[in-house]
A and B are shown apart, each in its own frame.
Chain A
Amino acid sequence: MPQITVTVDGITHEVEVEPRLLLVHLLRDRLGKTGTPIGCDTSNCGACTVLMDGKSVKSCSVLAVQADQSDILTIEGLSTDGTWHPLQKAFHEEHALQCGYCTPGMIMASLDLLRENPAPDDDAIRKGLEGNLCRCTGYCNIVRAVRRAAAEMSGREVSAT
């Protein structure tokens, strides 16, 4: 079996994997990273979205072997020293989640969206999150949350420079 080295939320793992093993199953079943859920098997819903080397991927559509030598960030690694990321805070403040099953993917996809476009308008947020489905919220509050996080994140960058 191939051996891969993958860093997940700052911890490096050396694991033997079947070539067919999906990244999301590596995360959930082998590494105990159950914060990333699975919502479909066809990469439509986006619940399993993580960042791989800084870019969002749907981890149900990536083989674990493809993640060899890569750096994976999941929802579990997003807060630092117990402080929530602005997106986590914004989703909470704006009531952008109900059952919360889509939330890890929605937040990770939003993170990638804001990396590409730090100040998106509502239309850009809606188009940018088209690949992440939510059945509970009707998306209104998700859009508000991303807008709110974008403001906070850019504000922080401004104050840092």
Chain B
Amino acid sequence: MTETLETVPEVGRARRRKEDTRLVTGRTRWTDNIQLPGMLYVAFLRSPMAHARITRVDVSAARRRPGVVAAFSGRDFADEQGSLPCAWPVTEDMVQPDHPPMAVDTVRYVGEAVACVVATDRYRAADALEAIEVEYEPLPPVLDMNEALKPGSPKVHEAGNKAFTWKFSNGDVEAAFRDAPVVIDRRYRQQRLIPSAMEPRAVVVDTDGETFTLYSATQIPHILRVMLALTTGIPEHRLRVIAPDVGGGFGSKLQVTAEEVLCLLICRRLGKPVKWTESRTEGNLTVHHGRDQLQHIEIAAERDGRIRGIRVNLLADMGAYLMLVTPGVPLLGAFMYNGIYKMDAYDFTCTGVFTTKMPTDAYRGAGRPEATYALERAMDELAHELGLDPIELRRRNWIKHEEFPYTTIAGLTYDSGNYEAATEKALALFGYDKLRAEQADRRERKDPVQLGIGVSTYTEMCGLAPSRVLGSLSYGAGGWEHADVRVLPTGKVEVVTGSSPHGQGHETAWSQIVADQLGVPFEDVTVIHGDTASSHKGMDTYGSRSLAVGGIAIVRACEKVREKAKRIAAHLLEASPDDIEFDRGVFRVRGTQTGKTIQEIALATFAAHNLPDGVEPRLDASATFDPENFSFPHGTHLCAVEVDTETGAVKIRSYVAVDDVGTVVNPLIVEGQVHGGIAQGIGQALFEEAVYDPEGNLLTTTMADYLLPSAADLPDFVTDRTETPATSNPLGVKGVGEAGTIASTPAVVNAIVDALRPYGVHDVPMPCTPERVWRAVQEGAAS
């Protein structure tokens, strides 16, 4: 063993990533790279109408086009396509309409598939779409949630436009608001977003006539396999799902899509391998969208700033159908509108509304960014109302570090945290007082470029999730995660993880964990994932769960391996297992230098010549970990913006993030997650919006119309950490995938509003484009 291994734990090291080798050399395996002998290409014809009855579909001319092997309409699949699943019936009376993967009678959003062509290459498949004839009888689009809920509104579904109303209440909210010295009453709009993973979706399906192998750019190969089996009737054991290298997801690939089901059915029907890869326009139209809520938040407070209670009323746009976790997304926010603050009463109501738009579903943060935005914006309004510094207001309300574990008004028990420490560190890095002085100076000078400072102190519930809690919320599955750890004859280690990554660096981080747990070199560990044939059991990657749940499954499996090895070592050393101690890869007889390395034990186990009675010749173990609680990362983000009051242009001058994600396995990966999360949150604050016109056509169908932040739009981020270990798992980890996105959107908008307070501005609707900022200044000045 090397000196390094003996002295420096792997957990905490900034290891460069193992997965980079293939990614920087172009040897990656994206789904669209796959070419199989005789493979056919699928292209979908999509509805140009937001809402219409389909009166006729004729694919016969398309079938005669060169290179075309088959063409199908929705009616061709009507008997076998089933309904796309929604796994989260949030209330007993939730309206859950049938969701045919290909529309048969009615289309309910622009982009819904109505027919398809299967051809020998992708160009011919696209050509033949032109030959399909479809006749529609237009129905009125339903685009505005408030209008949709009015009696007499056109209906998206026969059962009406309300999907559900879900309520939560704790404490006496009426009393909290009755005679409250201060009430803040605000409405915010969470605009609709397009997740925009860089890799477009792609599906390849192959069959040997008996079994089916489906490759998909998905976050959830395991969930997908179960759901496809239930949807299509293909038995689960004859269906293998592979997520090869997946180019980003951010929740958008946490879905069971129409195209996955249809490609499977087409492959079954034709007995040939098929491939479909979306264009970016198809992606913008039909990858599920994110956010889209109308938020009404009220805070009742004392004059000293202490919060008495919070009342929240949401309308959440479901779009045309309920997809995998569509109705659950706003509910993930239900437990977060109290944030890091103490209060006596809380009331939450959410109504899910159908519209004739693409369905919404999980997008990075899923419900928690929305909650944090409304809360942190309203906290700044309260601070302004009371003439308090926004940091001071938060300080007066947050849970103090000595008060953990703390059960919140929303019913969650936050296990650990130190909001004071993270905030102090952030203030120092940011130079808060100096920036406030500059702001005062610019206000004094009436500088046309004003400086604004935005504060966001957030927490989130992640590490999804304790299965029992998910059950109590009517979610359709558990929240455990699985791992297998196998020590090979030569002492190298294979780890099979059920958490299927798409950029998070599992291969590296999991190797670090195993290296410490088994005392083997980092280089000696390989990580297998994303294929239901080699990784039979998993709950996949979303909700910042991989490390906090999947990582712990690995720790547990390693513990079992060590226990087995200890028995074998004791036998080989002729000692009692109780006298064997494990120290960085060596099993020693206590108090002696006599020992066996784990590699020696692996070889001895393989030979199996001299094992203790009753011990199987294998040095491997499995573990499935179900967390007892969520984890609760937190942090303080500070943003300084310069706002040109004459043009409305916003420039982010500096951005400081101090996050507490518990124990850090790899600081490089953590910092990367924070950077990317902040950028996405800034995207929502400044640039991004999925826009539908009054007819229900999506206007932002390309990356030229839907603006993602580029390198030129963003500053360098200053990031740092505090480390308050989680107490709910043995590594002390909390998860980091969503934190940046949750924190940054309110930090940026708070900064813009802060800059414009002297102009009478109290809000700028997102995205805060120059035009919107300029209009806010004009309207503020006029009022």
Contacts and interface: CB of A to CB of B under 8 A. Distances in A.
A55 to B, nearest CB: 19
Contact of A88 (B16, B25, B279, B717): B25
B17 A95 contact: yes
A133 interface: yes
A148 to B, nearest CB: 13
A130 B707 CA distance: 12
Interface string B198-216: 1110000000000000000
A79 interface: yes
B460 interface: no
B655 to A, nearest CB: 10
B703 A133 contact: yes
B689 interface: no
Contacts of A79: 25
B676 A138 contact: yes
B710 interface: yes
B679 A42 contact: no
- Quick one: which of B121, B671, B711 has the most chain A CB within 10 A? B711
A36 B198 contact: no
B25 A39 contact: no
A125 B711 contact: yes
B712 A140 contact: no
B651 to A, nearest CB: 13
Given A29-B35, A42-B703, A95-B672, A133 B708 contact: yes
Given A41-B702, A95-B671, A100 B19 contact: yes
Contact of A35 (B25, B198, B280, B672): B25
B711 A126 contact: yes
A141 B33 contact: no
B727 interface: no
Contact of B20 (A34, A38, A100, A130): A100
A126 B20 contact: no
A125 B260 CA distance: 39
B703 A100 contact: no
Contacts of A101: 28, 30, 197-199, 247-248
A19 B678 CA distance: 43
A135 B711 contact: no
Contacts of A75: 24-26
B709 to A, nearest CB: 8
A140 B702 CA distance: 25
A36 B26 contact: yes
Contact of A95 (B198, B669, B680): B669
Interface in B383-436: none
B702 A141 contact: no
Contacts of A45: 198, 280, 703
A98 B24 contact: no
B505 interface: yes
A40 B280 contact: yes
A132 B703 CA distance: 11
A38 B247 CA distance: 11
A39 B728 CA distance: 40
A151 B769 CA distance: 37
Interface string A126-161: 110111111111111111000000000000000000
A60 to B, nearest CB: 10
A140 B280 contact: no
Contacts of B121: 29
Given A35-B27, A39-B280, A126-B711, A135 B680 contact: yes
A48 B669 CA distance: 25
Nearest to A122: B716
A56 B147 CA distance: 50
B23 A136 contact: no
A140 B198 contact: no
A25 B247 CA distance: 19
B200 A38 contact: yes
Interface residues of B, number: 58
Interface in B677-696: 677-680
B684 to A, nearest CB: 13
Nearest to B674: A138
B502 interface: yes
B87 interface: no
B398 to A, nearest CB: 27
Interface in B200-254: 200, 245-248, 250
Contacts of B669: 95
A105 B123 CA distance: 24
A4 to B, nearest CB: 17
Contacts of B560: none
A77 B603 CA distance: 41
Given A20-B123, A35-B28, A99-B197, A126 B712 contact: yes
A130 B198 contact: no
Contact of A41 (B198, B248, B280): B280
B69 interface: no
B198 A97 contact: no
B349 interface: no
Nearest to A36: B26
Contacts of A100: 19-20, 22-24, 28, 245, 247, 503
A32 B123 CA distance: 17
- Quick one: which of B19, B35, B710 has the most chain A CB within 10 A? B710
A100 B29 CA distance: 11
A92 interface: yes
B427 to A, nearest CB: 21
A74 interface: yes
Nearest to B501: A99
Given A37-B247, A40-B702, A42-B702, A97 B24 contact: yes
Contacts of A42: 280, 702-704
Given A97-B20, A133-B703, A133-B708, A140 B200 contact: no
Contacts of B712: 126-127, 129-130
Interface in A41-80: 41-42, 44-45, 47, 74-76, 78-79
Contact of A134 (B16, B198, B702, B703): B198
Contacts of B675: 137-141
A61 to B, nearest CB: 12
Contacts of B197: 99, 101, 135
Contact of B24 (A47, A91, A99): A91
A39 B26 contact: no
Contact of B198 (A29, A47, A92, A125): A47
A78 B27 CA distance: 12
Kindly list the 3 A-B residue pairs having the minimum CB-CB distance in the complex, ordered from nearest.
Answer: A35-B26, A99-B503, A101-B247
26 contacts: A28-B32, A34-B26, A34-B30, A38-B200, A39-B199, A39-B200, A40-B703, A41-B702, A45-B198, A84-B24, A92-B16, A95-B16, A99-B198, A99-B199, A100-B19, A101-B198, A104-B26, A125-B711, A131-B710, A132-B710, A136-B672, A138-B679, A139-B675, A139-B679, A140-B716, A141-B675
Interface of A: 18, 20-21, 25, 28-29, 33-42, 44-45, 47, 74-76, 78-79, 84, 88, 91-93, 95, 97-104, 107, 122, 125-127, 129-143
